[in-house]
Structure 1
Amino acid sequence: MTVNSVTIVGGGMAGFTVAKELRSRGFTGGVTIIDPAGAPYDRPPLSKDYLLGKRDHTEIQLAADHWFEDQGITIVTGKAASLKPDAGTVVLEDGREVTADRVVLATGGTARRLPIPGGDLDSVLELRTKEDADRLRAMLKPGARLAIIGAGLIGAEVASSALPFGADVVLIDPVDPPLVPAVGHELANRLHSMHPERGIDVVTGTPTAITAGADGKHHIELASGETITADAVLVGIGIVPETALAESAGLETDNGTIVDESQRTAHPRVYAVGDSSRIRLADGTLLRRAEHWEHAMNTGATAAAALLEQELPKHGASWFWSDRHGVHVEGVGSMVGEGTVIVREKDGEPSVVFRLDPDGFLAGCAAVDGGLAVRAARRIIDRRIPVDPAQLADPAIDLKKLAR
């Protein structure tokens, strides 16, 4: 069947990339993006520059309004309610229908709620949209106490961003230190220690209940018996993939909409990309679902190529980034698994951490303010270039030389 039109449900990075790649790859047919927020915008700034007021809503759009007009891409503002895969029809909550030859699900995810009493209170905040960031910003006032449950990437970023407002911050997580699977134990310790150094209260504990008093104060009970009182509570413990649309169409889901390596579901007219998709390899292996910004772009590019029956792009080892307290964190590959950990220090602190697999090849790398090192590590991982562990540990050795 010739593809003359594509509907993309979801205006995040993954959905936007599908549209952009379709046009850059020469597709001249109809392209429609459906999203409740209208024009696609970038999510990472929500916990940083947008929350801080350094960038407004127009400055975080993934493209200017005229770009969509110039590219002939239609934006439909609305929420998809169901999908009829055989017809390629997306039904919106208000009854409107959008039909195309192919449908791409880029539905992302919803904030994971705490499964405890009070975890579903309307006054307990999350951070997934511009409106969420606006609501949080309004509460960040001098002397206001913000409790953040979850000290992962988002929690740490918000904790850092809240300080310039003069807010008091308490950061709660059951793990000490968080982020070990992402950056290794040495860097995780360094990053987590930045919070108390800057006046943030760090509490290792598990919330068991949240109550809201008539005075607007929130009381967070911990398993230890301690109670933490705060004016506002933000929960940042990950997302739940949004698969309701896929399920309405009878598509297979398992912590994500199941797709093959071309991002196609079991139905030939439907693809899925980004946070809500999960790849099953040809041998039946079900990969872990990924949520990183670059993964959204990569899956979007793959789906666009597959839709046009072009050669699928090759992507390198997975990569992520984050910012907190004025430092930039990056990681590539996997820091989880058997093997050898090698630490490169700078000024007496761990700066770059590497993981070699049991065969001695580089499998993962994470760094603080070390973007060039991470890029070199990615090349080494992708090309399986043999490296000397002693040279990895030596800060005098330029990693770019090892990547040649």
Structure 2
Amino acid sequence: MTPPARIVVIGGGVAGFSAVRELRRRGFDGALTLLAPEGLPYDRPPLSKGYLAGTEDAASLLLAPEAWYAEQRVEVLAARAAALRPGEGAVELDGGRLLPADRVLLATGGVPRRLPVPGGEAALVLRTREDADRLRRAFVPGALIAVVGAGLIGAEVASAARAAGAEVTLIDPLDPPLAPAVGEALARRLHAVHAERGVRTVAGTPVAIEGGTHPGAPGGAAHRVVLADGSSVPADAVVAGIGIAPDTALAEAAGIEADGGVLADASGATSLPAVFAAGDAVRPRAADGSPAARVEHWEAAVRSGEAAAAGMLGQEPTGAAPGAGSPAGPGAPWFWSDRHGSHVEAVGTLDPGRSPGARTVLRELDGVPVAAFLVARDGHLLGAASVDAPLIVRAARRIIDRGIVPDLARLADPAVDPRRLTR
């Protein structure tokens, strides 16, 4: 490829920021523009954790101080891309301005899924700092808050709302929620904590959100979440925490191949020459060209941004690829969550349905599960999760990435130091 002189990165999340940082680290000396509609790029995971709880401020979310962009000669524009103009070698902004670009990186991320029920548009969501500010204003003592979706975001939102003094109802059709991510035993333990902290949990499926005042609720509630069994939950505010959908609008409008995400190879290259993609919007291609699973976690976004930076420069990414079509980096997906004062981490998969013959191994302390491991039929570790025991997951990541066959008895024994599990 002809070395680029001008690169435009679309998206101010961690994938876009990581790409910009990596481009400069790799010696790219050309014009570099980052389109970040919300201003300086900031970290999103704290939005549902410390920022929502009020223990972190907006400044602490920034991925780099303003001076860093000046030092690195990165132009940050608080603007949105309206269209790609590949034939003109440009990106069109809202308002019609054209930005010249030899390479374009789509790091458009995801958009919150809305409840697909009548009245679902009334539910609040959490994806941006503005969304979090809106929720913080709603989370006041005595407010009735209904949270639909008890996965990672929903559980964190419910925890923050309860800590603020709101009366919280957490609604999810699964009992327990999050079992594929952390295993059933830990999922039940985590879900039980909600009730212990005063959060009402309901196993149900919303079919509508009705507006208006409901005299039966304290002070009269603004909404009523109607469930499939005919019951309802009054709420001053409803929050939907049911995941995100990849933002593929720009890509599809430009004719780029997409299928549940922008299709891109390990270097971030899309079906349109000179256009790359990274982050939550990407669905990686496997080695044979078929679409692989999309990964939405923070670390995956960082690694894919770095891999796309290398790809745009025609260089090899740093590190070994974790799997067919995946960006460079650690071999197993990893995430963390904080709720009700507990820290949860998981790596790999805890879903036994993905590997016939797999078995679950639990580590318990005084009869309480603190970690779960999913072990394949051949003895290899597929995934692990822990509550307030991050060293266990750190060891599990090494075991998975190195292909070690662990001793099951040692995995289960709480007396075995996690740091010794890889030996």
Which one of the candidate residues 272, 275, 283 is aligned to 1:278? 283
Instruction: Decide whether the 8 Å contact of 1:88 with 1:269 is kept in 2.
Output: no
SS for the counterpart of 2:52 is: helix
DSSP-derived class of the 1:274 partner = coil
- Partners of 1:349 and 1:87 lie apart in 2 by 62
Aligned letter for 2:303? N
What is the CA-CA distance between 1:101 and the residue it aligns to?
0.9
Aligned residues of 1:148 and 1:235 also touching (Cα < 8 A)? yes
Give the aligned partner of residue 155 of structure 1.
Answer: 154
Q: How does 1:300-315 map to 2 (within 5 A)?
A: 300-313=305-318, 314=320, 315=329
Kindly state the Cα deviation for residue 216 of structure 1 after the two structures are TM-superposed: 5.8
Tell me the CA shift for residue 145 of structure 1.
0.7
Structure 2 CA distance for partners of 1:39 and 1:102, relative to 1, 3 Å: same
**Partner of residue 350, structure 1:** 369
8 Å Cα contact 1:334-1:364 kept in structure 2: yes
The amino acid across from 2:65 in the alignment is A
Q: Is the 8 A contact 1:332 1:365 kept in 2?
A: yes
Runs of 4+ in 1 over 6 A off after TM superposition: none
Find the partner of 1:378 among 389, 397, 401: 397
Residue 3 of structure 2 is matched in structure 1 by 2
Counting aligned pairs with the same residue, the percent is 53
Matched, 1:395 2:422: no
Give the conservation status (yes or no) of the 8 Å contact 2:274–2:312: no
Quick check: 2:221–2:234 contact (8 Å CA) kept in 1?
no
Does 2:109 match 1:79?
Answer: no
Matches for 1:30-45 after TM superposition, within 5 Å: 30-45=31-46
Give secondary structure in 2 for the equivalent of 1:7: strand
* Offset, 1:400: 2.2
| 1:157-182, Cα deviation, whole Å (9 max, x unpaired) | 01111122111100000001111111
CA distance in 1, matches of 2:43, 2:418: 31
Give 1:311 deviation, angstroms: 2.1
Aligned to 1:206: 205
**d(CA) in 2 for partners of 1:178, 1:88:** 47
Q: TM-score, normalised by structure 1?
A: 0.97
Structure 1 88/376 Cα, relative in aligned 2: closer, same or farther at 3 Å?
farther
**1:335, CA displacement in angstroms?**
1.4
Matches within 5 A, 1:5-404: 5-121=6-122, 124-213=123-212, 217-313=222-318, 314=320, 315-316=329-330, 317-336=332-351, 337-338=354-355, 339-404=358-423
SS at 1:321 equivalent:
strand
**How far does residue 87 in structure 1 lie from its aligned partner after superposition?**
3.3
CA–CA separation in structure 1 for the residues paired with 2:195 and 2:221: 26
Give 5+ residue unaligned stretches, structure 2: 214-219, 321-328
C-alpha displacement of 1:85: 2.4
- Measured after TM superposition, the shift of residue 399 of structure 1 is 2.9
Long gaps (5+) in structure 1: none
- TM-score when normalising by structure 2: 0.93
Residue 88 of structure 1 deviates from its aligned partner by 3.3
Assess if the C-alpha contact under 8 Å between 2:104 and 2:274 holds in 1.
yes
Q: Which residue identity does 1:358 align to in structure 2?
A: R
Q: CA RMSD in A?
A: 1.2
User: 1:86·1:269 contact (CA, 8 Å) conserved in 2?
Assistant: no
Aligned residue-pair number: 402
CA contact (8 A) 1:148 1:172 kept: yes
